[in-house]
């Protein structure tokens, strides 16, 4: 979900005072769960360490590289449906790896939209997550794609 939270305003109405170390809320489970699975499945502490490395550290490093590839690969390789000053392109391989963020040329065409899906086959999982958060009341002021905004205005007229 690299861009999911950057593309919608998250509701803070239900939040309490911030934790002094909120990162620990994510660090411990994302490292601890793979370690625990390794111990349970492998039966040894060594298997737990292997689970930590494979399921925690390598997974995080691979996903970070995929996320960073949006601003490098998607400015060199792929299809350019819209003209942009910086040569942004849509790359379906990157889109598969990072939940739709690889439709980068679409983002440059409609940067305020929470969705980068301009065609039915351009799957944008991040947008579906944002819509779910909106339905749960955890996100608000979600900006729909341009074609949807234009349809709403035409129907209202």
pLDDT in tens, 80-99: 999 888 889 999 999 998 99
Nearest to residue 133, comparing CAs of 18, 8, 2?
Answer: 8
* pLDDT score at 26: 79
More confident residue, 49 or 148: 49
Does residue 16 have a pLDDT over 70?
A: no
Cα distance between the two ends of the chain: 36
More confident residue, 22 or 43: 43
Q: In angstroms, what CA-CA distances link 20 with 1, 10, 11, 29, 138?
A: 24, 20, 20, 17, 22
99: left (phi over 0), alpha (psi -120 to 50) or beta: left
**For residues 6-29, average pLDDT:** 64
């Amino acid at each position: 979900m690299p861009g999911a939270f950057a593309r919608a305003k998250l509701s803070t109405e239900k939040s309490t005072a911030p934790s002094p170390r909120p990162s620990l809320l994510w660090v411990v489970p994302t490292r601890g769960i793979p370690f625990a699975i390794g111990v349970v499945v492998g039966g040894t502490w060594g298997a737990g360490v292997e689970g930590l490395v494979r399921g925690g550290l390598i997974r995080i490093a691979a996903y970070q590289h995929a996320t960073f590839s949006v601003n490098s690969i998607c400015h060199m390789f792929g299809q350019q449906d819209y003209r942009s000053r910086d040569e942004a392109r849509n790359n379906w391989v990157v889109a598969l790896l990072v939940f739709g963020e690889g439709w980068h040329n679409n983002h440059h065409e409609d940067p305020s939209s929470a969705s980068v899906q301009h065609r039915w086959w351009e799957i944008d999982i991040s947008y579906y997550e944002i819509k779910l958060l909106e339905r749960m009341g955890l996100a608000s002021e979600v900006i729909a794609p341009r074609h949807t905004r234009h349809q709403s205005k035409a129907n209202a007229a």
